[in-house]
Structure 1
């Protein structure tokens, strides 16, 4: 039954813990989502083709206009001419036939001059005989296609004129063959050759002969090459650049007609109501959940260290709300030309977080704030992140964290502001030098002044908001602790004047506690200040405590041990009530209540035992609670150690070691340290540190053995 009850309590505790963390984180995620949804979810329009645009509409995304790309590709393919192979052997063969005709003509004339009859008289051949003899000298490929009239005209032309004409005719043929003669253009090629011959200065018979020969000599020598044509078309298609609609590109301007082409572009980029796309919203939801998960993890980590309370949870929410709200407000007035994001005092949040909670959380949230800033300042182009904003915000915040070296001094915020100024200006110059745009000196000065203003505003806002978080939310910062440690504080004056012995005891406990806390990495400043106030309850009845009984009779001698125990046991709770009345931080009130835990008031218990065997130990124990934090546990140990060591007449090193060991072991065996997060290793370090500190304090009082007089 006890096991079941324990498990139930554990489940309830875990559930309560996660409710404390998850509910605020979900509220924060919801706020982030509402603030940034307008930056990812585009406005859509209920418009029809051939109407007038009521406003300038830009593309929210970068997307390929596939239809336009396909149209350009078709045009490129259509522009590709068919590829042909030109066969030079065909041209050589046809020109060879022409040359053969002229060679045959020359041979015929030569042979005719040498031929004589029986009487030695040269034989005169008729035209018909000449043609027949000429045809006998020519190939059938020529005689079958060339008319006899062509040969007769050529025979009527003198040899010199004929040779001149042959050269001209062949050159015209070669020019056409070089360009390629195809079936589609063969008639054009023939006509060009005939036209060139027609207007030459050659003999008319020769011109007419060449006119006829052109039809014979000009044949197709260029043939379609399907493979080369396909390769050319492929190359042309690959050279076509995709037609893109870029994010931010104006699709239609106010007052212009929404043509069918414009309407198709609006439809393509999803700006029509019927094309609304929910995927960007889903993506934003996932991003916000990831951010919330990181924040929840960090809050859980702080909670495991017993450092998370309602005030710190509220501060995380309020700081995040403030930073993101400032970003959103400034983004409304930011354009691509004025770049007002440089003036955002984004570092305010991390400066507050480092002072109020810790540096790790400040670094983590600086990254998250930068990412959200990249969305908020995306110039109204959904689906994009402004990388410049992310880089600038990150370095600005990180610089603030680095330069805030001493969180115990408000002036360190001013020094951090100076460091931020340098970082902001360097980051802005980085963007200026990387940009393809040419910035004038005046523009660079203006942008740099934005960075200076952002740093100045961050420092001023941090200083101004700190008191609100410290007082309004009850968060205990180091600066607040330093203020509470001032001797001018009313409660410390009260202890000094009404219980001076207790005051000096508290100062000693504070010194021991701070040293021990620093040794194990706990909050030494908190321990010191809490130690100053831990015994404030003794001011209610100061003379009942031995350190304040200077030159007076001990009042416990005249009352019963039971009454004495009741008075002594009451002082932690009297102190807590007094601290609450003066609105002191919860951490200090807790230490006042917990520094005795449930320990036994041994002196009065055993004194009562001497006369009353039925005395109950429970009546002589403090009601608790036991120390819940490392600081409270250390103060509990140091409180007992200081009182015990102060009571020693001769505090030697051995006695100090013995008393400290006895008190630490007693606390462990009595279970007083069971509910605090101290480890055994840390307890050993605390033991050693307290001993070394006490030895240093009481070193001058240690007595050494004297030499015996001879």
Structure 2
């Protein structure tokens, strides 16, 4: 039991990665569509590249989406609407008519008797309500057939047989003219107008149910291909009827292969493919990005983003596959580039798109567009902390999507008359969604404890609390840090390293000197040296401790690990030579271990640059009469000495890059120490 616990303790990082690998694979298999993969790839408008294809089994030819939509629309257009007929309304209308007649009829005003008015009104009411009265404005022709529902009985009528209120004036005029009672026309019209109530109303629910039933009964097939029948010959163009038959075969094949008998084998196949993708990701990180591979938080972050993209795509495809291009897949390489580097972003993007190929329709078209868009994202998005850069890059990505989709459509259809313009809107929405990268980066920083260039920009502000404290307590160190930051930033730009990261690292690399500023020469305001009365070992310990103290201060102020790395490594495992030599001079011997910084040595280009810039800038302050030759010799001597000590062995930096850095340091220092014109007093 003890040995088992010891094994888990020693290999907990590896065990976690295995666990992450298994869980991610299972989750993705669950999300993948439950159907076999058709073994032929084809595109509309392209020649059939395989041998003659014969039907492996009998199957039905599916109607195309366009045909089905057309037939469904015909059903809607030709459907017979249902109307509810209320038989009780006529009684209420007659009662209201008689009441209004009693109130408004005056004998002295009309020659026609009240009884005649009553008789004429009752006749009009009976005639109006014989087929029903409706005041709804509906888009039906007069000849449109309708169903009139009276209780449990349904009668057929023409829509024109329903009485409309707009016809009331005409109806009253006909009645009074026929009965030679023109003097009561206004009265009769007003009485009926006030009394009439509609008793026929469209039954939307019943009408829609009838339409739905007809659509449901619609046959999705238009024919059958018998087993052994030739479907397409080699070299034939996949278009029209051939394309629809191939799509039908593909759907039938995927439906039949996902059966209980071979369910397990299909799972095995999916497991192997998904496992290969994740295995390639692990191998890439282990070989080329070991710092990420050994950091479980960063590995989890990458896997989380891959799973998130697959999950969102699966969700959208289930809702409506046309919206698949709205998902901002390019946000993945953009975010990974912000936290890591372009190669990691592109590699993970490619693997993710390969997984999405199992899910989306028209997988070749989709993967091609996403690959190109991902490459454009990596090539265009730089200095993400500059807001304009993100907008420009998103515009370029959206343009690439539109151009690529347009090209595919022209190849497949051979014309642009029927191109679905709304799809271009999806690409624009995708671009707008990609702008969500900034808030998402902030969220990831808080959730995973990572740091991006956006955060680095905030940390580079010299008015921040920690840097202000440094400038107040150790002004000499603060000035030294600013100079080092300028030298390091210029060097990083020269070799293509992360200039913002190295600048921030340079600003904070000496914050440990705040606790004992006068023990460092740059902060001593007079000729008194605090080290003169101290033992060389004690002096060396104070000097070395500024690294440890700096790390403590950085952690207390929640500085990111990427910045703390510069504090840890800016002296590597070098020797505090001055006090080492002084100890040897006094004692006749000295133990090197007492005078060596704890390290580690730089493990990135950026930390290596800081070591060079820091040492060169500090040493240049001791030059009494600096000249171009002296400065160049100083830079060569210091950097070469660091190389001889093996300080850059883990830094992934080349000799050529070191030479370029030397050249930048020489140029910058010469600019600082250039001779000025002596002005007369």
* Cα distance change on mapping 1:646 and 1:307 into 2, 3 Å: farther
Shift of 1:552: 6.6
Q: Which of 321, 340, 357 is the aligned partner of 1:374?
A: 357
1:626 alignment partner, SS class: coil
Residue of 306, 321, 330 corresponding to 2:316? 330
Q: Which residue pairs with 1:686 in the alignment? A: 661
**Which residue number in structure 1 is paired with residue 306 of structure 2?**
320
Equivalent position to 1:269, from 248, 256, 261: 256
| Mapping for residues 225-374 of structure 1, pairs under 5 Å | 241=230, 249=248, 269-270=256-257, 273=260, 275-276=261-262, 278-304=264-290, 309-335=295-321, 339-374=322-357
Residues 344 and 454 in structure 1, CA contact (< 8 A), matched pair in contact too? yes
Q: Distance in 1 between matches of 2:588 and 2:253?
A: 95
1:585 CA displacement = 1.5
Partner SS for 2:32: helix
- TM-aligned CA distance change 1:468 to 1:500, over 3 Å: same
The offset of 1:615, in angstroms, is 4.2
Inter-CA distance 250–39: structure 2 relative to 1 (3 Å threshold) = closer
Equivalents in 1 of 2:604, 2:443: separation in Å?
Answer: 26
Once the two structures are superposed, what CA deviation does each residue of 1:158-182 show, in whole Å capped at 9, x if it has no partner?
Answer: xxxxxxxxxxxxxxxxxxxxxxxxx
Q: Which runs of 5+ in 1 are unaligned?
A: 1-11, 43-61, 70-236, 253-264, 379-384, 704-710
In 2, the alpha carbon distance for the partners of 1:542 and 1:628 equals 28
Contact 2:35 2:257 in 1 (8 A): no
Counterpart of 1:457 in structure 2 is 433
1:411 Cα deviation from its structure 2 partner: 3.3
After TM superposition, give the deviation of residue 15 of structure 1 in Å. 8.6
- Of 368, 371, 377 in structure 2, the residue corresponding to residue 394 of structure 1 is 371
Within 2, Cα distance between the matches of 1:450 and 1:266?
31
Measure the CA separation in 2 of the matches of 1:36 and 1:266. Answer: 17
Q: Is the 8 A contact 1:33 1:284 kept in 2?
A: yes
Secondary structure in 2 aligned to 1:269? helix
Find out whether 1:472 has 2:447 as its counterpart. Answer: yes
State the alpha-carbon separation in 1 of the partners of residues 474 and 454 from structure 2.
27
Give the counterpart of 2:536 among 561, 566, 569: 561
Are the equivalent residues in 2 in contact too, given 1:26–1:292 (CA < 8 A)? no
TM-score by length of 2: 0.63
Spell out the pairing of 1:88-167 with structure 2 (5 A cutoff).
Answer: none
Deviation at 1:242, TM superposition (A): 5.5
Shift of 1:651: 0.8
Q: What is the match of residue 551 of structure 1?
A: 526
Deviation by residue 1:551-602 (Cα, 9 ceiling, x = unmatched): 3732223333333222111101100110111111112212112212222222
Q: Residues 312 and 39 of structure 1: is their aligned pair in 2 closer, same or farther, counting only changes over 3 Å?
A: farther
Residue-by-residue CA offset, 1:5-45 (whole Å, 9 max, x unaligned): xxxxxxx9x99997776664554333332221524389xxx
| TM-score, length basis structure 1 | 0.60
Name the CA distance, whole Å, in 2 between partners of 1:500 and 1:630: 28
Q: 1:426 aligns with which of 403, 415, 421?
A: 403
**In the aligned structure 2, how far is the partner of 1:684 from the partner of 1:660?**
11
Partner of 2:112: none
2: CA distance, partners of 1:405 / 1:622: 36
Note the C-alpha offset of 1:290. 3.3
Q: Sort the Cα spacing of 1:444 and 1:402 in 2 relative to 1 into closer, same or farther, 3 A.
A: farther
Alpha-carbon offset, residue 539 of structure 1: 0.5
- 1:286–1:452 Cα change, 3 Å: same
Write the distance in 2 (CA, Å) between the matches of 1:546 and 1:240.
92
**What is the number of equivalent residue pairs in this alignment?**
483
Partners of 1:666 and 1:251 lie apart in 2 by 68
Of structures 1 and 2, the larger Rg is shown by: 1
Query: Distance in 2 between the 1:482 and 1:307 partners?
Result: 26
Separation in structure 1 between the aligned mates of residue 253 and residue 300 of structure 2, nearest angstrom:
45
C-alpha distance in 2 between matches for 1:240 and 1:599: 80
How has the CA–CA distance of structure 1 residues 436 and 486 changed in structure 2, closer, same or farther, with 3 Å as cutoff?
A: same
Match of 1:515 in 2: 490
Deviation at 1:652, TM superposition (A): 1.1
Would the alpha carbon gap of residues 65 and 628 (structure 1) be closer, same or farther in structure 2, given more than 3 Å must change? closer
List gaps (5 residues or longer) in structure 2: 1-7, 39-52, 61-225, 233-241
Matched, 1:578 2:574: no
Contact (CA 8 Å) 2:485, 2:507: kept in 1 or not?
yes
Q: 1:629, 1:396 → 2: CA distance?
A: 29
Report the more deviating stretch, 619-628 or 645-654: 619-628
In structure 1, distance between residues paired with 2:58 and 2:489: 75
| Cα distance in 1, alignment partners of residues 12 and 606 from structure 2 | 24
**Distance in 1 between the 2:533 and 2:664 partners?**
40
Match of 1:35 in 2: 31
Q: Which deviations, in whole Å up to 9, do the C-alpha atoms of 1:485-532 show, x marking residues without a partner?
A: 111222111111111110111111122222333334433332221111
> What is residue 231 of structure 1 aligned with on the other side?
none
CA change 1:40–1:679 in 2 (3 A) is: same
Q: Note if 1:672 corresponds to 2:647.
A: yes
Is 1:617–2:592 an aligned residue pair?
Answer: yes
Q: Report if aligned partners of 1:600, 1:621 keep a CA contact under 8 Å in 2.
A: yes
Deviation digits for residues 589-635 of structure 1, max 9, x if unmatched? Answer: 12112212222222223333343335433222222223333322332
Alignment partners' CA distance in 2, 1:283 and 1:249: 24
CA RMSD of aligned residues (A): 4.0
Task: Give the secondary-structure state (helix, strand or coil) at the position aligned to 1:647.
Answer: coil
Q: Which whole-Å deviations, capped at 9, do the CAs of 1:421-470 have from their partners, x for residues lacking one?
A: 323333443454445499987x833222222111111222x122101223
Instruction: Quote how far apart the aligned CAs of 1:330 are.
Output: 0.6
Distance of 2:287 and 2:320 partners within structure 1: 37
For 1:23 and 1:68, the matched residues in 2 are separated by 44
Give the Cα–Cα distance (whole angstroms) in 1 for the partners of residues 347 and 645 of structure 2.
41
* Structure 1 residue 546: Cα displacement: 0.8
1:638 corresponds in structure 2 to 613
- Cα distance, 1:611–1:272 mapped onto 2, change above 3 Å: closer
The alignment partner of 1:554 has SS state of coil
Residues 350-375 of structure 1: per-residue CA shift (max 9 Å, x gap): 22122222222333333333333232
Q: Deviations over 1:118-168 (max 9, x none)?
A: xxxxxxxxxxxxxxxxxxxxxxxxxxxxxxxxxxxxxxxxxxxxxxxxxxx
Aligned partner of residue 555 in structure 1, secondary structure: coil
Shift of 1:687: 3.0
Task: Give SS of 2:421's match.
Answer: helix
**C-alpha distance in structure 2 between counterparts of 1:595 and 1:26, whole Å:** 39
Pick aligned residue for 2:55 from 39, 52, 64:
64
**2:460 aligned with 1:485:** yes
Partners of 1:22 and 1:296 within 8 A in 2: no
TM-superposed CA distance for 1:334, in Å, is 1.9
Q: CA deviation at 1:549?
A: 0.9
